[in-house]
Structure 1
Amino acid sequence: MLRRVTVAAVCATGRKLWCEAGRELAALWRIEARGRCEDSAAARPFPILTMPGRNKAKSTCSCPDLQPNGQDLGESGRVARLGADESEEEGRRGPVSNVGDPEIVKSPSDPKQYRYIKLRNGLQALLISDLSNMEGKMGDATDDEEEEEEEEEEEEDDDDDDDDDDEDSGAEIEDDDEEGFDDEDEFDDDDDEHDDDDLDTEDNELEELEERAEARKKTTEKQQSQSLFLLWSKLTDRLWFKSTYTKMSSTLLVETRKLYGVVGAESRSAPVQHLAGWQEEEQQGETDTVLSAAALCVGVGSFADPDDLPGLAHFLEHMVFMGSLKYPDENGFDAFLKKHGGSDNASTDCERTVFQFDVQRKYFKEALDRWAQFFIHPLMIRDAIDREVEAVDSEYQLARPSDANRKEMLFGSLARPGHPMGKFFWGNAETLKHEPKRNNIDTHARLREFWMHYYSAHYMTLVVQSKETLDTLEKWVTEIFSQIPNNGLPKPNFGHLTDPFDTPAFNKLYRVVPIRKIHALTITWALPPQQQHYRVKPLHYISWLVGHEGKGSILSYLRKKCWALALFGGNGETGFEQNSTYSVFSISITLTDEGYEHFYEVAHTVFQYLKMLQKLGPEKRIFEEIQKIEDNEFHYQEQTDPVEYVENMCENMQLYPLQDFLTGDQLLFEYKPEVIAEALNQLVPQKANLVLLSGANEGKCDLKEKWFGTQYSMEDIENSWAELWKSNFELNPDLHLPAENKYIATDFMLKAFDCPETEYPVKIVNTPQGCLWYKKDNKFKIPKAYIRFHLISPLIQKSAANVVLFDIFVNILTHNLAEPAYEADVAQLEYKLVAGEHGLIIRVKGFNHKLPLLFQLIIDYLAEFSSTPAVFTMITEQLKKTYFNILIKPETLAKDVRLLILEYARWSMIDKYRALMDGLSLESLLSFVRELKSQLFVEGLVQGNVTSTESTDFLKYVVDKLNFMPLEQEMPVQFQVVELPSGHHLCKVRALNRGDANSEVTVYYQMHMEEPCFDFLRTKQTLGYHVYPTCRNTSGILGFSVTVGTQATKYNSEVVDKKIEEFLSSFEEKIENLTEDAFNTQVTALIKLKECEDTHLGEEVDRNWNEVVTQQYLFDRLAHEIEALKSFSKSDLVNWFKAHRGPGSKMLSVHVVGFGKYEPEEDGTPSGEDSNSSCEVMMQLTYLPTSPLLADCTIRVIDIRAFTSRLNLLPYHKIVK
């Protein structure tokens, strides 16, 4: 089966050129954002930034001359445990063997083979052979094939020498996320196999813990393509952008009204809720190709930072990318990956640093050799230090407005003096440049010293995965990685620094002023390290109960009191939450306004529940239920993206013994009630620390955290409550253990076909009320299914008030479902309700045995929708905060402004905020819902281990339960787009958060419907922290844009706009000078990528659902894309670019201007740079004048509605030809 991938058609060659030209653009203003560390994230153009302890850093860095300490780099060998030398192993296994290690326990559904080796320099490696996915080809590539491939590669390199020289030198702004193609339709297609906590961190404004939860969750998506557009995009990545991998890589962005996490998003079970009317969606339709991948974990992190150079470990993670003795070009590795469809990433945690990359299999061996030089002999030249410090500083500046980062930094500051938790892990210009200069510290020399001390082979674990035999992988790894030096020094150990929070500063109440509008209470305990108990996982057991949302749970009780919206409880995987010195157990609750007034009662409810658990003791029934659920998921797990997989495995190798490399972080192995009780009994009020976030704390906080400027206060727990919690207080009779879970699957049989097998979904039901597409899975053969429905209504877009009512409706519906559907969620049945632009999207997936029960439950609650006045008030008040929190972000405001200009009938987020603030009633909501349900068109897709008869029952259930009339006429599921006039139009507005220096500049070019097109390819390559190109599909109208996120403390937005234009002007020359061979190389690579198979069923479903929900139905789009790729020439690309950049081009610039010295306010003062809160923002656009720099060459837009009312509307358009 064909699958969509990184790039396609004409965009391919364009992306290559764009990459290089983009580095020149970066150099024009010294944006050296080469090493973005982001919470894996999502990805997306602006993923949530968190502390570098889990910040994904895409690095292109360099290092000074480093000399190994007398290491014999030539020695290598198999680990002694194998009991045989290499020749004996070969004889035992045969000349070409793919025999794995039986000691490594793997899932029965896992087709891969595993082998563990230990090199003589101490490096441990896990080899993963993925040959079983090669359509029956179990042999390795022959020597002749390898030689032929190498010859082809040499020829390509020769043809591209001039281009590569440029690519491998000069300034490059590294990408922070996969942007690339941006489909601005309304549809939510980001469901994949990894969205247990499928939260969009960029837009989730409810609670910082949700941001971290999403950051931890990694997903991958496939890509679509678009003829000339596509090849251009591929070239732009090649020539401009550093390849990266992020949580949401390779996405087609859809600007729609999807907003995750309106309420309940922090809860593990609460489905992601969405807001109608705005959101940019990152479609996950198709994940990355099955590339070869590698990851290496160094057993050292920010805990090892020297006291006089905070952030050095994070900085080193950036710097090792910048050239090596063997491959000295500063950006050579990134250029190599870009050329061959790959990506790379890195992250610095408290005690570990992880590097990973993926690339086409053909180039994997060479990529390994290039990548290994980071650890063998990086250059880290002195000249690169200042540039890369600016990159780290920009990353820090982007992170400062994050409440999650602020709270973590504040938490770390509570540790006892001398404990590494109190260090500033991020690093910035002050700690890495200015302060060292004042103290005569040579940062360059200290960086080299740090590398020599800590980047030693015996600290390292390596994982490689490819479609090669294990013998081949072993040969490569031994040959390449044995050269990494081993300094013989003991591995850093901080395990003796226990009880870091046994201080007077703990067990207090901290009131904190957040950036966003939110009320949240976090209760935290610092426990002894729990890693040694991984076979029991006591904190997992406790968090499963504490985070439960069914009857008798904490959240169920608090919701009934209208005190809480969401709850997240447990211990995450970041170094901040668990390391060798402590483990954190935290319970974070998103409060309502009323809940904030009763936060002590909320805390008391938590303590009552914990006391109940302590009194009852561990329950074997509960443990075995959790164990069964995890066993089922592991037994039938689907394959994940290789780069994500190897990253996880290399960290697991640092934590678990050989047999548990694959299972140690997933399964519950043994029931030991005494271990669970020991952890549970420490969760008492006397050891708890309380943090209360609220804008109401403003003016009451007299303290300020040093690095993030967080305003807070510290006080003793109120005496009456402290005394109560010391006593033998009464239990709450409404709190009890959950009942037995009826949703746990027990039937895993694969169903037989009841209709002819088809390659693509077929329409099996078509009535005036709805239609259903169906495809029975016969490829992945797992007992799971996907159910998706789109309930379309013209009522939603009739007014801004209706859009808001729709948001309220979806969120109350989700609130109503939270308790009854929670058991299904923990049984690995997942659901999500999405407020789409034109209808409600329902998505359900999981083991097919009990999936109908969950689907019917959702439809039942939809049919019998109701709300109490208290719940209505609670949700609307939270919605006000959500809208507000979206608007104070420059990047989201810029998107809102741009779409308000382009999509004529769209209601802006400001329109919605005003409609909500004007007041809506429960009666108006109930009236709206009745009308909404009275007339619909329902379209669905069912795929997986389900028969056609069972599938039709899903649609029948919807129609019968809702009993609606069909629509009077067919309804388009997209907006009409205005036709921009020729010329350069500029809309410049002031950002809404006075405390944020970040600015956003987007330059957009509108294209035409008549362009050859096969929809859009989604790319995973971007430039810099917030510098990226995007190919856009705005309701069927094509366009492309360049966006730069900068700071008003560093640049004026019009200077940025000017530099973007200079870059685009130079880009034309780049593509004209591209050789035909280089162009053809990119086209060939794209075709190969598109022919790769899906790695799991979710990818196939996502691709098909995108066709259904956009009503395009071109299920064989990939085949069309491949044919399009074969037909294009370089001249097509050049002519296409000239046509849209020449005279008569339709250009729109949107500037959202932050607060800083380069963007003074009208009175000339750059106020707001040091402000801590945004709570006094006025929700209206302030149009700013144009400076002389752009005044003569732009047409100013000072009233969006007046401007767009004079423009022509383009017809509705679908990309199906």
Structure 2
Amino acid sequence: MTPKLIVPDDRKRTYDLFTLDNKLEVITISDPATTTSSAALEVSVGSMSDPDDLAGLAHFIEHMLFLGTEKYPQESSYQDFLSEHGGHSNASTSLEYTNFYFTVTSDHLREALDRFSAFFTCPLFTQSATDREMNAIESEHSKNIQNDGFRFYQFLKDTSNPDYAFSKFSTGNLVTLKEQPAAKGVDTRAEMIKHYQAYYSANLMKLVVYGKESNAELQDWVKELFLGIPNKDYAVPAFEGTAYTGQQLMKWYHIVPVKTQRTLVMHFPLDVGHEEYLTKESRYFGHLIGHESEGSILYVLKEKGWAESLCAGTGFTMNTWSLFTIDIEMTKEGLDHMEEMVDIVFQYINMLKDAGTQEAVYAEIKNLAEMQFRYMEPSRPEHFCTDLARSMTTACGAHALAAHYLFFEYSPARIDRMLAALRTDNMNVYVKCQELEGTCDRTISPWYHIKYSERPLSAAQIARWNGLPTNAALHLPSTNPFIPESMDLKPLPDNAPDHPRLIHETPATEPGVRLWFQQDNHYLKPKATTLWALLTPLGYCSPRHRVLNRLMCMVVMERLNALSYHASVANLQYALAPSFEGLNIIVTGFNDKVGVFMKEVFTYLKNVQVDDALFLVMRDQLKKMLENFFKEQAYQIAMEGTKVCFMTPRWGFADTLPIVDQVTLPELQQHIALVLQQFSVEAYFQGNLLEADALQIMADAKATLLQGVLPMPSNQLPCVREGKIPKGREWVRPLPCPTADGTNSALHMTMQVGLRTPRAQVLSQVFTSVTQSIFFTQLRTLESLGYIVAMIGNGSEPGRAVGTAGVSCIVQSATHDPLYLYARVYGFFEALGPYLEEYKEADFKEVVASLIAKKREKPKTLDDDAGRKWAEIQEEQYMWDRRERQIKELEGLTKADLLELYRSRLANDAPKRRRLTTLIFASQHQALYDDAVRDAEGSVVKRAATRLPEYRASNSAARTPEVEAFLAALPAEIAAVLQKMPADGLQELAGGVPAEELAAVPVEAVQEMVDAKVQEGAEGLAKSPLPAIEKYNAAPPEVELAYILDAGRWKQTLKTFPALMPAQA
């Protein structure tokens, strides 16, 4: 008999757990109010099961399942269907599991399930898709090469037990999936099919389906569609050995990261696996060791000026083992005291041993977890399904929903056993810091080339840590003052409005305060969200003010940290952040102690003090953050480069970074005093509060924070505007890669449609819904430009007097230069016209209907709903029925409207086209960047007639040094012919044919070989969703590009969109 699920208090959803005859375990969730449905399936196989000679195979199978099935053979069928019906999909491969999910408008759930189930009954794994998708894997790996998270993850693998499966390279790339197998005579496609058949068995799968239908109907669909998955009764993969033996322990490593950081990491391997969810001893120790209040490790380290942050808990949890991790982000001074910091960690561990198991502490976190589970708000359906499918694989079926939250058993014995494992002979220390590069004399990992050093922990170190004296500054946390005492729902008034009301506004002679309020009548949880804007022109009026304002927020949060950590433990989340308009404060969580905590926030903010030591630490943190932005993904840097061009004011990272070191302590102190002397407050409270509660919180603010504050005239409040990109030109902002080792180029193209009216918004959304799937199919799947390819509808960030709608395109590539990316996106828009003209009216209506369905759905959580209404307040639009107005516009839209938008504003020759593209030139394309800006010193704009690059075959890959040397060794006429061959074909030639042998072949024969390879690479073109692109590929046009060389001066020439006029409140 199937056990009954443990579920939260949930008035809106019902759950069912059952097992099909093929042993597929399933949970269905019935939510009659949802307009978005989802499903997720988890398979108990991951990268640790990869064959030794095919690293990344599990990840590759995950990719390939999206590219056609026997029932739906067209490669883009699945993605096209989801996109047309307001959905999307993704998947991920971890060490022991692979997860797939999708989301779709609820009316189309069954059809989506039909396509989804075919992944697991009849995948195609075609040879052409196999060849092309290897390039996508290569692009994904290239994206990760400079990512410190992936680098450290691989470092852990490379320094673990080489005979254990954890040590494998899990992402894969062209070397592991193509070149190495080919050299050994291994057929990757055949091995992939063999691997799929060996592990994709129904008894190793868990399925979650979320829909508006009853559980009975969802169960019928699941039986019909998923019973065909074969059950082979395979055992869950098991792995002999352990990741860390004595040979891999008691080491001290220094590692050179990409980003600026000073991180000390302590790892303790544990023989504790997923079964630990029942007792959660790791949560107990994570709570104590990771605490931040007085008496904690972090509190003591901060008092000494050695650390900025600390977190503790299990980093990896596998079926049979896990890693308990302590991460400490150090200050500059902390670098000189690393061993002493480890001293303090072990002094705290020793204190825990001496104190014994603390049942009261365990009970406190257990009770808080029960509250969180009981009043859990579901996340977006796809996230909910994905997390639940994973939980089904690691917990028994009845516990699946509750496993992450509930403490099922109190086991002092297991607590003692884990505490005993936190010892010096069961530990490694990793220090990630660029400043220690001089000590790093080794390189590890052929995939990431990580510089590091290694030394064993000395006998003297171990003896010292084992014999430490007691540290009186370390003790258990005090009782949490923010644990809620009442979870009662406040009585609702009759006819309670479901939109905010202005319940308090001060006269002009007093400090400006406007308080908006809505008592929750929908979510019915004992929770509240309070949102505050402290409005001042001093927060963003110059790059210097932006730096000072951010430092002010950092200082206040740091001063409040020991207390606010208690609040976070009690599920009161808090943030203080700078904004265009001054400062934003948010406090959200259980409502019972919201007012108590807000009083503390007001007091700390009003009386904040900053001394030289704290100032230097905060300034260093800010500098690291700004420096590290330039080591983010290339497309993120491109997006920032675009925004800086036309947002006014908009001070980018490049504007603010040089200023950080110039700012002084007296200057910051003066800034804080001036900000707190004169400002206005706009606030919005929503949730389980009475109007009287809201007014009392505001009264507390007046008695503390607002005491003595001068009124801020409304005409002095900040106003953010968006410049109009001049019509009819191809505006391009070229930017070099900010780091010498950046190997990814990127494109971010934005097209302004107009002010953010309901009509402009839905037109942009309909356009992207119709085109984003074919954009992805053409440029990512068929042309293999890169791993990151996306088209999105966009609008301005919320702010006073700002609001435009538009469309953006993003492409990032490690194999192509940005001018080629531009040419391909330009070609996409060139070929899009015929596609839209032939687009079926019925398909258009389906897209519109799906968007309408999504807009009719209420936000899933109180926070989401409050955030949406807060944006209306910030923009002074108060359009509480914006969704209803958008639906009305959608109901009146026709395909002719879509064509008019394209022809007038988005096409390459559109007369009202307002298009700006930022291009990031990777380090290997520096010469192209130099050409773009040559002979334009001091110019604001350089116009250049540019012949767009020719189309390159879809199976191209990056040229390696081996290929370049091969070409250089050939006669010039043969090398010139080979230049047009796809790069992977060149790689095969370079690896298999001596240059002197090819040099003897007639040029005509070489040309025939190249033509055949190009035709082979172009086979995907026949499947292109844009047949008209073939004409463009044959003869790319010459286009005049207007290069923006000085964004600041160019922005000054722009007219701005008219301000959104404040609406009647």
TM-score by length of 1: 0.74
Q: Does residue 636 of the first structure (1) align with residue 375 of the second (2)?
A: yes
* Worse-superposed segment, 578-587 or 887-896: 887-896
1:1122 aligns with 2:887: yes
User: Which residue number corresponds to residue 432 of structure 1?
Assistant: 177
The 3-state SS of whatever aligns with 2:119 is helix
Highest relative contact order (Cα 8 Å, sep 6+), 1 or 2? 1
SS in 2 for 1:699: helix
Which of residues 566, 591, 600 in structure 2 aligns to 1:848? 591
Q: 2:559 maps to what in 1?
A: 816
Q: Structure 1 residues 346 and 673, CA, compared in 2 at 3 Å: closer, same or farther?
A: same
Match of 1:839 among 554, 557, 582: 582
Instruction: Report the Cα offset of residue 1158 of structure 1.
Output: 7.9
User: Aligned with 1:992: secondary structure?
Assistant: coil
SS at 2:120 equivalent: helix
Other-structure match for 2:1032? none
Instruction: Check whether the contact 1:1050–1:1158 (CA below 8 A) recurs between aligned residues.
Output: no
**Alignment partner of 2:450 out of 710, 723, 743:** 710
Distance in 2, Cα, partners of 1:821 & 1:569: 18
Partner of 1:316: 61
* Distance in 1 of aligned mates of 2:246 and 2:940: 48
2:828 counterpart of 1:1063: yes
- Alignment of 1:1040 onto 2:803: no
Please say if residues 299 and 353 of structure 1, whose CA atoms lie closer than 8 Å, have aligned partners that are also in contact.
Answer: yes
Question: Aligned partners of 1:1099 and 1:1146: how far apart in 2?
Answer: 32
Q: How do 1:498-897 and structure 2 match up within 5 A?
A: 498=242, 500-572=243-315, 577-706=316-445, 707-717=447-457, 720-726=460-466, 728-753=467-492, 757-767=496-506, 768=508, 769-889=512-632, 890-897=634-641
How far off is 1:358 after superposition? 2.2
Question: After superposition, where does 1:87-166 map in structure 2 within 5 Å?
Answer: 103-109=4-10, 111-131=12-32, 134=33
Q: Contact 1:1026–1:1043 (CA<8 Å) still a contact in 2?
A: no
Counterpart-to-counterpart distance in 2, 1:1200 and 1:591: 37
State the AA in 1 paired with 2:883: L
- Residues 1:1195 and 2:1042 are matched in the alignment: yes
Q: What's the CA shift for 1:916? A: 1.0
Shift of 1:343: 2.1
2:925 counterpart of 1:925: no
- Contact 1:832-1:843 within 8 A present in 2 as well: yes
Question: In structure 2, what is the Cα distance between the partners aligned to 1:927 and 1:702?
Answer: 47
Secondary structure of 1:970 counterpart: helix
Give 1:440-479 correspondences, 5 Å limit: 440-479=185-224
Q: Which runs of 5+ in 2 are unaligned?
A: 781-786, 933-937, 949-1037
Change in 2 beyond 3 A, CA 1:1060/1:1160 = closer
Q: CA RMSD in A?
A: 2.5
2:918 equivalent to 1:1150 = yes
**CA–CA separation in structure 1 for the residues paired with 2:72 and 2:1053:** 57
- Structure with greater helix percent: 2
Answer yes or no: is 1:909 the counterpart of 2:653. yes
Point out the more displaced range, 1006-1015 or 903-912: 1006-1015
Q: Show the 5 A alignment for 1:354-503.
A: 354-494=99-239, 496-498=240-242, 500-503=243-246
In structure 2, distance between residues paired with 1:722 and 1:676: 24
- Name the stretch that deviates more: 528-537 or 1023-1032: 1023-1032
Q: Confirm or deny: 8 A CA contact 1:989 1:1184 kept in the other structure.
A: no
Partner residue, 2:1009: none
- 1:553 is aligned with what amino acid? S
Question: In structure 2, how many angstroms separate the alpha carbons of the residues matched to 1:817 and 1:663?
Answer: 32
CA gap of 1:1207–1:849, structure 2 versus 1, over 3 A, is closer
Out of 715, 723, 729, which is 1:970 matched to?
715
Preserved CA contact (<8 Å) 2:761 2:806: no
Q: Which residue of 2 aligns with 1:1005?
A: 751
Q: Does 1:1111 align with 2:873?
A: no
After superposition, the Cα gap between the structure-2 partners of 1:1216 and 1:429, relative to the gap in structure 1 and judged at 3 Å, is farther
Specify the structure having the higher radius of gyration (Cα).
Answer: 2
Shift of 1:1157: 5.7
Cα distance, 1:1014–1:952 mapped onto 2, change above 3 Å: farther
**Equivalent residue number for residue 736 of structure 2:** 990
The separation in 2 between residues aligned to 1:1200 and 1:462, in whole angstroms, is 51
In structure 2, distance between residues paired with 1:1149 and 1:123: 48
Q: Secondary structure at the match of 1:795?
A: helix
TM superposition shift of 1:893: 2.9
Q: Which one-letter code corresponds to 2:408 in the other structure? A: F
Separation (CA, whole Å) in 1 of partners of 2:328 and 2:944: 45
Q: Distance in 1 between matches of 2:13 and 2:453?
A: 53
* Distance in 2 between residues matched to 1:1033 and 1:1110, nearest whole Å: 13
Question: What TM-score does the superposition give when structure 2 sets the normalisation length?
Answer: 0.84
Distance (Å, rounded) in 2 between the aligned partners of 1:544 and 1:938: 36
Shift of the 841–475 alpha-carbon distance from structure 1 to 2, 3 Å rule, reads same
- Superposition pairs for residues 74-93 of structure 1, below 5 Å? 81=1
Equivalent in 874, 886, 900 of residue 644 of structure 2: 900
Residue deviations 1:834-888, cap 9 Å, x none?
2111111111111111111111111111011111210100010111111011123
Confirm or deny: 8 A CA contact 2:16 2:29 kept in the other structure. Answer: yes
The residue type paired with residue 1129 of structure 1 is T
Structure 1 residue 417 displacement after superposition: 2.1
SS at match of 1:558: helix
Q: Distance in 2 between matches of 1:724 and 1:636?
A: 47
Matches within 5 A, 1:212-361: 290-361=35-106
Whole-Å Cα distance in 1 between the matches of residues 806 and 550 of structure 2?
A: 30
User: Counterpart in 1 of 2:792?
Assistant: 1030
CA displacement at 1:1014 relative to structure 2:
6.3
For 1:584, the aligned partner's letter is L
What code does the residue aligned with 1:957 have?
A: D
Match of 2:843 among 1066, 1078, 1089: 1078
CA contact 1:1036–1:1215 (8 Å) conserved in 2: no
Counterpart amino acid of residue 661 in structure 1 = A
The one-letter code sitting in structure 2 at the alignment partner of 1:127 is: T
Deviation at 1:750, TM superposition (A): 1.3
Runs of 4+ in 1 over 6 A off after TM superposition: 1016-1022, 1180-1187
The alpha-carbon deviation at position 1182 of structure 1 amounts to 13
The number of residue pairs the alignment matches comes to 938
Deviations 1:518-543 (Å, cap 9, x if unpaired)? 11111111111232232211111000
Maintained 8 Å contact 2:539/2:583? no
User: By how many angstroms is 1:1160 displaced?
Assistant: 6.3
Residue identity (%): 28
Provide Cα deviations, 1:303-342, integer angstroms capped at 9, x if missing partner: 1100000000110111112211222222212222222222
Range that drifts further, 922-931 or 1090-1099:
1090-1099
* SS of corresponding position for 1:1062: helix
Deviation at 1:1119, TM superposition (A): 1.4
Which sections of structure 1, spanning at least 5 residues, go unmatched?
1-80, 83-100, 135-288, 1165-1179
Whole-angstrom distance in 2 between the partners of 1:487 and 1:880:
56
Cα 1:464–1:969 shift into 2, 3 Å: closer
Give, in whole Å, the separation in 2 of the partners of 1:308 and 1:1076. 50
**Number of the residue aligned with 2:951:** none
